[in-house]
Structure 1
Amino acid sequence: MAKQLLAVAEQKARQMGLACDIAIVDAGANLVAFHRMDHARIAGIEIAKGKAWTSVAMQMPTANLAQSALPGGPTYGINTTNQGRLTVLGGGIPLVRDGMIVGGIGVSGGTSAQDIEVATAAVQAFAAAHTHHSTGASRTIR
């Protein structure tokens, strides 16, 4: 499934003219799969991994943190916690099945809005795959 999500995200990034770093983590926020598209920024490797980790660790899209972490915001300074690992840039989104977070995706390569769009394509594919799976329409998706 992680490889399928990488493929969906890469396809979306290509359509948008982006070269992205894409990370998929499991429910424990451990890296499961990673892809660096040709010419994607080297700095984006850790950023994408950080976004995926943060989406699971904080149980929310990283875009939610971007606003609240601004100076004067309710979570200002949160990015300095967890040895600086919390990433407050948009583009990290949890993967949810049956109301439980089962993993996350992090994308780096464009603006936060573009990264969110690429990540959302994979999240939608994940949701669609598990909708089909639960109805028995496709037993091959795991």
Structure 2
Amino acid sequence: MSGTTRTAVAPLTTEDAELLLAAARTAAGAAGVPVSVTVLDAGGHLLAFRRDDRAVLISGETSTRKAFTALQLDAPTADLVDAVQPGGLFHTLPTALDRPLLFIAGGVPVHREGRLVGAVGVGGGAPAQDHAFAAAALAALAG
């Protein structure tokens, strides 16, 4: 082992998760888009979830899968869409694993001090809208 010491980074708290959820919902509300928002911790465990009354039912599942995908690959799902197209680096990944991956924009990883601490997923709007709402949540957390 090297002599490098890694300092602990504070995990996402429930308070952080509520802030992320509220900020994404505020951005979506301002755009008039009913959404579902999922916040996961670094282990992929659910910290917060909310589906607006008028959001399409499947948005709950898509928001969770987007968050999980962003977490597992440590990248915004918007940046991964081309990778699963025929000939792309991850073309077979969505069907190769028995995991809930979804390569549609709207999932973003959450970092603290350069370390991955969780992810946010938004579903219910157009992919670009969902990505913008998730990005607004990150901006609110960064503060």
User: TM exceeds 0.5?
Assistant: yes
Give matches, 1:58-137, under 5 Å.
Answer: 58-128=73-143
Q: 2: CA distance between counterparts of 1:81 and 1:94? A: 22
TM-score, with length taken from structure 2 = 0.86
8 Å contact kept, 1:21–1:44: yes
Kindly indicate which of the two structures has a greater share of residues assigned to helix.
1
Q: Secondary structure at the match of 1:102?
A: strand
In the alignment of these two chains, the number of paired residues is 128
Match of 2:28, as an amino acid? Answer: A
Cα distance in 1 between the residues matched to 2:112 and 2:65: 22
Runs of 4+ with >4 A deviation: none
Question: Which ranges of structure 2 fall in alignment gaps of 5 or more residues?
Answer: 1-15
| Whole-angstrom distance in 1 between the partners of 2:92 and 2:81 | 11
TM-score normalised by length of structure 1:
0.86
Question: C-alpha offsets along residues 79-135 of structure 1, whole Å, 9 cap, x if unaligned?
Answer: 11331511100100001000001110000011110000000000111122xxxxxxx
Q: Structure 1: any 5+ residue segments left out of the alignment?
A: 129-142
RMSD over aligned Cα atoms: 1.0
Q: Which residue of 2 aligns with 1:135?
A: none
